[in-house]
Amino acid sequence: MSSFPYIHISCPCHEDRPQTLTLDSARPITPLKSPSKHDFNFPLTDPHTPTKRRTLLGGFTPSVSFDSGNINLDLDEEEEELTDEDDDNNNFDPRDPRSAFSLFPIENLLYCEDCHQIRCPRCVQDEIVCWYCPSCLFEVPSSTVKSDGNRCTRNCYLCPVCTALLAVIPVNHSSGHSGTHSDHPTGPFNLFCSHCHWTTSDLTPPIQLEKPTSISAQLSKLTHSSQDSEFIRLKQHYAQQLGNAQEDFTNSPAALTRLMGLYTGLGSGSGGHGGSRKGRGVKKLEMKEVDRPREVGEEQELEIIERMAVEGLESTTTSKQRLAQPHEPRFLSDLTPTAVLLRTKRSKRCRACRHILVKPESKVQTTRFRIRLVALNSIPSLTIKRLDSTINWNNLIPHKTHRFLLTVTNPLFDPISVSLLTPRRTPGTAFASRVTILCPEFEVGASTDVWDDALMSTKPAASSTSGVATPPVAGSFTSFSKDPKMSTVYEQKRNYTSVVIEVVPPEIPDTRETRIRDERLLEIPIYVRVEFEAEVDRDDEEGGGGKPSHSGASGGAVQRERVEYSYWYVIGVGRVGDPVEGVVASEPNTPVRTPVGTPVKAPRTPAAMRTPLRQVRS
Amino acid sequence: MGPKRSGASSASSAPLPPLSIDPTAVLSDAISFSGTYPITIGANSVLHPRCKLNSAEGPIVIGSNCIISERTQLIAPDIDGLVLGSYVHVEVNCHIQAARIGDATSIEVGTKLGKGSCIGDNCTLSPQSIILDVDVLPAFTVVYGENQRRMDTSATAVARNETMLAHIDCLKKLLLNKSEKYMR
């Protein structure tokens, strides 16, 4: 169970249709922008896509709607009820089994600058850059991985008892004093675990190495089990058989004709494939089974039981230890050192446009990245704090109005205007909590230099626009149920803005015992729409191939462009606790908060809301 | 637990418990001594700064060639006191209320020894392990992983003692010896 509060972002990739397809219908195609440029952004690699697009556009229904209470303030009660029902059908439901797979914390998300879309671990493609041993940091070529397996073939071994790294120490510790044993360690060697003090001498029979180097070669001789030798025998046999039949499997013309003959023979129905092969004179494939396959280890069961009776349960392995070993040994004295598993460095690609999102340095020793497009640098991040420190995240009180501080942080170099939209009742549950964002529309300053704020102390006040009143003093919010300032932002600093969100959970029965689903878990979906004016290099746009950079540093053809995108965020606020005496439901429990500033505009077209990023000429 | 939070102010405020410190022991600055029962520190032992020794309930005896690391608390559980053998290595941030700790025992980072527990000779307690109150560990016990136990048959005790001596030699060069400060 994750600890509260948590904030996840829904990656649009979970929607089963490609969501970028409706983009063209939403925006007017201006002669300045060639449509081909936008087509380039779409995942049109699939040959079926054009037909799919037509059907989609024909039967398009809006799948996102918003709390009308925030939008149409003059609606009467019945209509509100109606729209509440609509909300249940159309809003993002964080409890939907499907959405569970699309929710990620922002730290796990990447951002594709070409698609202008966040990319979750499910919609990126991993490519292995290199294999390496995490212990000795040696790179292992992929050909070696194919032939020798994915374990370190050098001197790295793990303790079979506690999985710590083993060290090589001499068996007979030099009785001479400290310092002398370092120059010439002699005699047989042990592998020694410095964590749990397991040594290879604990095995029966004890394993002692002659040299402190090339441990893999020495160990493979010493820890040879009967299962291994039988496996090698079988492998050799079948490799030989396969070698005999090699020409049947290769891409030689003979193999092709044989395959074709196979199918035509079957298709004509004349006698089965054996006959057709014979008729065409292709060499017959003969696979001989191994002579006497021996079953290893089965006859030892009685022996094992007797040994268990003598040595007791303390000498048996745990399931973890057993599963980490090749032949699942029953006794601690049968455990052998396990070679360190190799790890990979991976680059990540956007599945839609094939651009690389993450590319680590191929050198094993460096932890730097050549390319790393994380979502944290491109989309605003939300954080939630308690306004009242007595709120217990794990025990929210039913019918009590909990006030939280929702902070939107802007990583971009342009100021953004943010609209937060949330269904008034949390969707997807019979026990809906009431959620009110006191100031759903506000601005967040640009992520400029930290010192800009200090140098220009008057800037925050000047930057507040018509929709946002000047940030009041934080102390004035202690009792603001009838405060006219309730629709103002709580705090506004250099690149973040905080607003108050009120949550009133209902009484919810504890369902953890009876159901898988935890009804008391309070998750609030918030639709965050971001609009900003970005500098777009027009030459770049006309070229069609280049990416629209936000820097706009090149040339004089820099133009401001209105950019907007939107995502569903899900805030795991906490768990609702047992009802508390004295806190009872009041109807309505909170007065309907009407934003004083401009109300949230309803989306003009559903397509506009579905597009993660829409670029409209201003 | 000791009434003081900051070890640095120990010398100035409350009176020190009766101390008998071997002249070869190295005591750093800012060690917090509290309590009224005597505290004995054996030869060649090293106490890091900001370790805390509380003898309010009983005496504390630290043997020879021991290392007590920073932020570790040694608290005597009762009137019989806390006795550490020789070659005992107590790592950082341990909370020790044991009655006995045997020779050549290594207690790793963040270990908690319950009140009146008894640790045998040559034991190893891996980081963050927890020994319950009045628990008795026989000699050569290794506590590892999720408080699992096994017997140490590696016969590396001699080698580890040598390492301890080298460690103490190194610490003696690095640490400032302020033991006179506590001798008064």
Domain ranges (residues) in chain A? 6-46+72-109+375-616
More confident residue, A332 or B59: B59
Q: What is the pLDDT of residues A289-298, one digit of tens each?
A: 777 766 666 6
Spell out the long-range contacts of A577-582 with Cβ–Cβ below 8 A and sequence spacing 24 or more.
A577/A392, A577/A394, A577/A395, A577/A396, A577/A397, A577/A398, A577/A520, A578/A395, A578/A398, A578/A510, A579/A397, A579/A398, A579/A399, A579/A507, A580/A397, A580/A398, A580/A400
Q: Which two tokens stand for residue A247?
A: 């020409």
Alpha carbon of A200: minimum distance to chain B alpha carbons (Å):
9
Tell me what pLDDT residue A480 has: 39
Q: What value does the mean pLDDT take over residues A162-169?
A: 89
Searching chain B, which residue's CA lies closest to the CA of residue A174?
A: B159
Is residue A474 pLDDT above 80, yes or no? no
Question: In this structure, which amino acid lies at residue A38?
Answer: H
A190 touches chain B (CB under 8 A): yes
Q: What is the pLDDT of residues B151-171, one digit of tens each?
A: 888 788 888 899 999 999 999
Alpha carbon of B159: minimum distance to chain A alpha carbons (Å):
7
Residues 148-167 of B with CB under 8 A from A: 148, 150, 152-156, 158-159, 162-163, 165-166
Tell me what pLDDT residue A249 has: 57
B75 in a domain, yes or no? yes
Is residue A606 pLDDT above 60, yes or no? no
Is residue A436 pLDDT above 80, yes or no? yes
Tell me what pLDDT residue A335 has: 86
Q: What value does the mean pLDDT take over residues B14-35?
A: 89
A198 touches chain B (CB under 8 A): yes
Residue A178 to residue B163, Cβ atoms within 8 A: yes
A189 touches chain B (CB under 8 A): no
Is residue B10 pLDDT above 60, yes or no? no
Question: In this structure, which amino acid lies at residue A230?
Answer: E
Q: What value does the mean pLDDT take over residues A534-544?
A: 53
Query: How high does pLDDT run on average in chain A?
Result: 70
Residue A202 to residue B163, Cβ atoms within 8 A: no
Alpha carbon of A179: minimum distance to chain B alpha carbons (Å):
9
Tell me what pLDDT residue A395 has: 85
Q: What is the pLDDT of residues A229-252, one digit of tens each?
A: 888 888 888 888 777 666 555 666
**A206-220, A249-263, B124-138, B153-167: least confident range:** A249-263
Distance CA B94, CA B133 (A): 15
Residue A196 to residue B163, Cβ atoms within 8 A: no
Residue A196 to residue B142, Cβ atoms within 8 A: yes
Q: Strands across the sheet with B130-131, in order?
A: B32-35, B52-55, B73-75, B95-96, B112-113, B130-131
Is residue B59 pLDDT above 90, yes or no? yes
Q: What is the pLDDT of residues A75-119, one digit of tens each?
A: 333 333 334 444 445 677 777 777 778 889 999 899 988 888 888
Tell me what pLDDT residue A221 has: 79
Q: What DSSP designation does A425 have?
A: B
Tell me what pLDDT residue B1 has: 43
Is residue A458 pLDDT above 70, yes or no? no
ipTM: 0.82
More confident residue, A554 or B42: B42
Tell me what pLDDT residue B138 has: 93
How large is the angle between the packed helices A272-280 and A253-268, nearest 10 degrees? Answer: 130
**A135-149, A423-437, A460-474, A479-493: least confident range:** A460-474
B120 in a domain, yes or no? yes
Q: Which of A162, A178, A195 sits opposite B162 (nearest CB)?
A: A178
Top-confidence range, A140-149, A219-228, A253-262, A550-559: A140-149
Searching chain B, which residue's CA lies closest to the CA of residue A189?
A: B154
Residue B163 to residue A195, Cβ atoms within 8 A: no
Distance CA A118, CA A122 (A): 11
Return the percentage of chain A with pLDDT > 90, whole number.
7
Tell me what pLDDT residue A256 has: 73
Going by pLDDT thresholds of 50, 70 and 90, the confidence category of residue B150 is: confident
A194 touches chain B (CB under 8 A): no
Going by pLDDT thresholds of 50, 70 and 90, the confidence category of residue A518 is: confident
Is residue B60 pLDDT above 90, yes or no? yes
Tell me what pLDDT residue A389 has: 83
Residue A201 to residue B153, Cβ atoms within 8 A: yes
Going by pLDDT thresholds of 50, 70 and 90, the confidence category of residue A611 is: very low
Distance CA A559, CA A556 (A): 9
Instruction: Print the domain residue range for B128.
Output: 7-183
Q: Measured between beta carbons, which residues in chain A are less than 8 angstroms from residue B154?
A: 190, 192, 197-199, 201-202
B117 in a domain, yes or no? yes
Residue B159 to residue A169, Cβ atoms within 8 A: yes
A162 touches chain B (CB under 8 A): yes
Tell me what pLDDT residue A15 has: 66
Which residues make beta-bridge pairs with A119?
A110
Q: Which of A162, A175, A192 sits opposite B154 (nearest CB)?
A: A192
B179 in a domain, yes or no? yes
Q: Measured between beta carbons, which residues in chain A are less than 8 angstroms from residue B162?
A: 177-178
**A121-135, A142-156, A277-291, B21-35: least confident range:** A277-291
Alpha carbon of A183: minimum distance to chain B alpha carbons (Å):
16
More confident residue, B182 or B169: B169
Question: pTM here?
Answer: 0.67
DSSP codes joined into one string, B85-119: -SS-EE-TT-EE--SEE-TT-EE-TT-EE-TT-EE
Q: What is the pLDDT of residues A26-84, one digit of tens each?
A: 333 333 333 333 333 333 333 333 333 333 333 333 344 444 334 333 433 333 333 44
Q: What is the pLDDT of residues A174-183, one digit of tens each?
A: 554 444 444 5
Tell me the count of A-B CB pairs closer than 8 A. 44
Q: Which residues of B60-93 are buried (b: 16+ CB within 10 A; e: fewer)?
A: bbbbbbbbbbbbbbbbbbeeebbbbbbbbbbbbb
Is residue B61 pLDDT above 90, yes or no? yes
B59 in a domain, yes or no? yes
Q: Which of B142, B153, B156 sits opposite A173 (nearest CB)?
A: B156
Tell me what pLDDT residue A312 has: 86
Q: Among A196, A202, A204, which would you mutate to test the B interface (most chain B Cβ atoms within 10 Å of its Cβ)?
A: A196
Q: What value does the mean pLDDT take over residues B96-110?
A: 93
A196 touches chain B (CB under 8 A): yes
User: Taking Cα atoms as reference points, which of A1, A13, A99 lies closest to residue A352?
Assistant: A13
Return the percentage of chain B with pLDDT > 70, whole number.
92
B69 in a domain, yes or no? yes
Residue B144 to residue A201, Cβ atoms within 8 A: no
A145 touches chain B (CB under 8 A): no
Tell me what pLDDT residue B130 has: 92
Residue B144 to residue A195, Cβ atoms within 8 A: yes
Q: Which of A173, A177, A197 sits opposite B142 (nearest CB)?
A: A197
The CATH number for B134's domain is 2.160.10.10
Q: Measured between beta carbons, which residues in chain A are less than 8 angstroms from residue B126?
A: 195-196
B124 touches chain A (CB under 8 A): yes
